[in-house]
């Protein structure tokens, strides 16, 4: 099974937006060292997100690594002209041949005020923009110097995105973290309706899961409290640093039980391994994309290491153990 490290480039405490962007590049380097196949950055606009222009981060991450595929999950296509997106990723593909992924999506990725500022007059509907982008990427124009196309993915959370990916023969990255329960029906809808296209002869599915994993149960509780805090309305300009989160612990919102909630796979490694195994069994995906919300950079890397060991049990984790959970299908 192929693995993707998926970074939402969140801004924590004293790191600030510049620090968040630099840490994202370091995370790409760590993901390559750990044997991940892809590194993706998400586009978000706002004070707690450090990545309004993911294509810039893609270039920096690709330049800092050697072989890992680097891309987006996703460029918010409703905000942009398809030709401009195609031109940008054509250039990235020429700079880093065979290593660029172009993930697209339709989510707003920002609050209403910012969305209004990003909006362009007389925008075409999203499905039409996808069709135009696909035409630019595959057929090319005089404005796009010849190169191999980037690998195009459609990121979706519901049946509309699944059907659109199926119609145009695109790989689908399903954002499981947007749902509290598994939704294999959406992925099955994609597989049943898939039409081979110029960028895909058969359906290909990646499941994006949010993981809060640590060796210490107290750290797991703090991470889950941070997720609750991040989802709540707040006037904070950044998310708490690791030290601030420890100081806030007595006042942190209680995360509550998560037995059946798969919007975040939380726990110590053995617990997360079981939850990941159940998720994989529900979807039978080709790939797994892992994201986490964590202010401590070393713990973010540790999370990637743990999931890598769970998904590929022949590889030792940092403490020398091999995760039994031969539990995840290694494809």
DSSP assignment string, 168-185: TT--EEEEGGG-SS--HH
Stronger pLDDT, 311 or 109, i.e. the higher one: 311
pLDDT at 328 over 70: no
Indicate the pLDDT class of residue 154, thresholds 50, 70 and 90.
very high
Least confident of 98-112, 205-219, 317-331: 317-331
% of the chain residues with pLDDT over 90: 68
Q: What is the mean pLDDT of residues 265-269?
A: 95
Predicted pLDDT at 251: 53
Average pLDDT, the chain: 88
Predicted pLDDT at 13: 87
* pTM of this prediction exceeds 0.85: yes
Indicate the pLDDT class of residue 24, thresholds 50, 70 and 90.
very high
Predicted pLDDT at 320: 35
pLDDT at 232 over 80: no
Distance, C-alpha 298 to centroid of its chain: 19
Distance, C-alpha 26 to centroid of its chain: 16
Domain assignment present for residue 271? The answer is: yes
Domain assignment present for residue 329? The answer is: no
Domain assignment present for residue 322? The answer is: no
Q: What is d(CA 41, CA 56) in angstroms, rounded to the nearest whole number?
A: 10
Predicted pLDDT at 112: 77
Indicate the pLDDT class of residue 117, thresholds 50, 70 and 90.
confident
Tell me, what CATH number does 12's domain have? 3.20.20.30
Q: What is d(CA 47, CA 66) in angstroms, rounded to the nearest whole number?
A: 31
Number of domains in the chain: 1
pLDDT at 203 over 70: yes
Q: What is d(CA 330, CA 1) in angstroms, rounded to the nearest whole number?
A: 5
Domain assignment present for residue 26? The answer is: yes
| Contacts of residue 19, Cβ cutoff 8 Å, sequence gap at least 6 | 11
- Count CA atoms closer than 13 A to 106's CA, side-chain side: 17
pLDDT at 323 over 60: no
Domain assignment present for residue 320? The answer is: no
| Domain span including residue 74 | 2-311
Predicted pLDDT at 315: 45
CA-atom Rg of the chain in angstroms: 19
DSSP letter, residue 254:
P
Predicted pLDDT at 276: 95
% of the chain residues with pLDDT over 70: 88
pLDDT at 330 over 70: no
Stronger pLDDT, 302 or 249, i.e. the higher one: 302
Predicted pLDDT at 143: 73
Q: Express each pLDDT in 40-95 by its tens digit.
A: 999 998 888 879 999 999 999 999 999 999 999 989 999 999 999 999 999 999 99
pLDDT at 121 over 80: no
Stronger pLDDT, 221 or 64, i.e. the higher one: 64
Domain assignment present for residue 327? The answer is: no
């Amino acid at each position: 099974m192929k693995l993707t490290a998926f970074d939402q480039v969140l801004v924590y405490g004293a790191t600030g937006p510049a620090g968040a962007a630099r840490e994202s590049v370091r995370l790409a380097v760590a993901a390559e060292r750990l044997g991940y196949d892809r590194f993706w950055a998400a586009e978000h606009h706002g004070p707690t997100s450090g990545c309004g222009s993911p294509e810039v981060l893609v270039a920096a991450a690709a330049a800092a690594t050697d072989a890992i595929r680097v891309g987006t999950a996703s460029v918010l296509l409703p905000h942009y002209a398809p030709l401009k997106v195609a031109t940008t990723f054509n250039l990235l593909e020429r700079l880093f041949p065979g290593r660029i992924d172009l993930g697209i999506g339709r989510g707003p990725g920002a609050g209403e005020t910012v969305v209004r500022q990003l909006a362009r007059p007389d925008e075409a509907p999203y499905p039409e923009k996808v069709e135009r982008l696909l035409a630019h990427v595959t057929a090319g124009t005089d404005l796009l110097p010849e190169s191999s196309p980037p690998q195009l993915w459609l990121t979706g959370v519901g049946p509309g995105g699944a059907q659109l990916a199926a119609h145009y023969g695109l790989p689908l990255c399903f954002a499981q973290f947007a749902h509290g329960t598994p939704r294999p029906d959406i992925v099955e809808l994609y597989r049943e309706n898939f039409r081979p296209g110029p960028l895909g002869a058969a359906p290909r599915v990646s499941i994006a899961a949010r993981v809060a994993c640590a060796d210490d149960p107290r750290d797991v509780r703090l991470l889950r409290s941070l997720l609750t805090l991040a989802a709540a309305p707040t006037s904070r300009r950044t998310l708490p640093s690791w030290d601030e989160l420890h100081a806030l612990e007595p006042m942190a919102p209680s995360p509550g039980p998560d037995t059946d909630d798969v919007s975040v796979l939380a726990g110590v490694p053995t617990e997360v391994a079981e939850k990941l195994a159940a998720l994989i069994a529900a979807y039978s995906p080709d790939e797994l994309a892992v994201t986490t919300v964590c202010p401590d950079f070393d713990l973010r890397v540790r999370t990637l290491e743990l999931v890598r060991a769970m998904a590929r049990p022949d590889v030792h984790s940092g403490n020398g153990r091999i995760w039994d959970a031969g539990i995840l299908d290694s494809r």
